[in-house]
């Protein structure tokens, strides 16, 4: 039985912010806000990893796709467990890839990339706020991590897996981030070495206007 049920507070708490504000500039006023932002960050990182995997698989790079998915999923678990390092690295990795794609003309839709970058930055800010808030003394009448829901599949995915995966997964996360960055640097160097085809001069024929 959860602490809230023991205290007679079985009703589900309500988030302080609306969805848009919670996504892009969240605030924290209760322990429930802390937990909700961690869950939101988990979904954002998992979605980025999943979409990146599908795109890279479509481009014929399955290994890089699996590596990207693994990095972002482990980052999602770290964010759920309020790891500032995991949140910061997820933001830095995507920002680096997005900026590099814009410079070399292969970044896809810039609006979508900008929105994802903003979400990951908001995710980093929320993780920092949550970490600070979690250091405050516990209030027995407020939400506690033991009160996390596990009724649906998504609840079990975001609430039950991260506490089991992150304590050991973090030891694989940081080497995988290093490997990911190494591959990104190698790819950038190879892109620069690819010779550009010479431009053919455009010949403009003069029209003879004489009768």
pLDDT in tens, 8-18: 333 455 555 56
Q: State the average pLDDT over residues 169-173.
A: 94
Residue 120 lies in a domain: yes
Reported confidence tier of residue 2, pLDDT bands at 50, 70, 90? very low
The CA R_g of the chain, rounded to the nearest whole Å, is: 23
CA nearest neighbour of 48 among 103, 121, 100, 105:
121
| Phi, psi for residue 48 in degrees, rounded to 5 | -60, -45
Residue scoring higher pLDDT (37 or 77)? 77
pLDDT value of residue 149: 64
Residue scoring higher pLDDT (176 or 201)? 176
Q: Are 188 and 100 in contact (CB under 8 A)?
A: yes
pLDDT value of residue 75: 94
Reported confidence tier of residue 84, pLDDT bands at 50, 70, 90? very high
Residue 100 lies in a domain: yes
pLDDT value of residue 143: 46
State percent of the chain over pLDDT 70. Answer: 67
Residue 171 lies in a domain: yes
pLDDT value of residue 192: 63
Residue 202 lies in a domain: no
Residue 203 lies in a domain: no
What domain range is 162 assigned to? Answer: 17-193
Residue 8 lies in a domain: no
Residue 108 lies in a domain: yes
Q: State the average pLDDT over residues 52-74.
A: 93
Q: State the average pLDDT over residues 56-76.
A: 93
Q: How many Cβ atoms from other residues are within 10 Å of residue 116's Cβ?
A: 19
CA nearest neighbour of 92 among 202, 181, 17:
181
Query: Total domain count for the chain?
Result: 1
DSSP, res 147: G
Q: What is the pTM of this model?
A: 0.74
Residue 9 lies in a domain: no
Q: Are 57 and 64 in contact (CB under 8 A)?
A: no
pLDDT in tens, 17-43: 566 666 677 777 777 777 787 888 899
Residue scoring higher pLDDT (121 or 193)? 121
Reported confidence tier of residue 141, pLDDT bands at 50, 70, 90? very low
Q: State the average pLDDT over residues 123-145.
A: 68
């Amino acid at each position: 039985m959860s602490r809230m049920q023991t205290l007679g507070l079985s009703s589900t708490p309500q988030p302080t912010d609306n969805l848009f504000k919670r996504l892009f500039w969240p605030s924290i006023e209760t322990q429930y806000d802390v937990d909700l932002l961690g869950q939101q960050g988990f979904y954002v990182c998992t979605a980025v990893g999943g979409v990146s995997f599908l795109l890279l698989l479509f481009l014929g790079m399955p290994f890089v796709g699996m590596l990207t998915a693994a990095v972002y999923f482990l980052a999602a678990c770290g964010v759920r467990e309020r790891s500032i390092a995991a949140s910061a690295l997820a933001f830095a990795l995507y920002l680096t890839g997005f900026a590099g794609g814009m410079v070399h003309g292969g970044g896809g839709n810039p609006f979508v990339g900008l929105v994802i970058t903003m979400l990951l930055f908001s995710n980093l800010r929320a993780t920092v706020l949550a970490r600070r808030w979690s250091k405050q003394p516990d209030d027995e009448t407020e939400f506690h991590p033991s009160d996390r829901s596990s009724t649906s599949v998504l609840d079990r995915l975001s609430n039950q897996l991260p506490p089991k995966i992150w304590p050991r997964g973090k030891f694989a996360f940081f080497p995988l981030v290093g490997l990911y960055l190494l591959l990104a640097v190698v790819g950038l160097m190879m892109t620069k070495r690819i010779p550009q085809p010479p431009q053919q001069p455009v010949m403009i024929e003069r029209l003879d206007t004489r009768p």
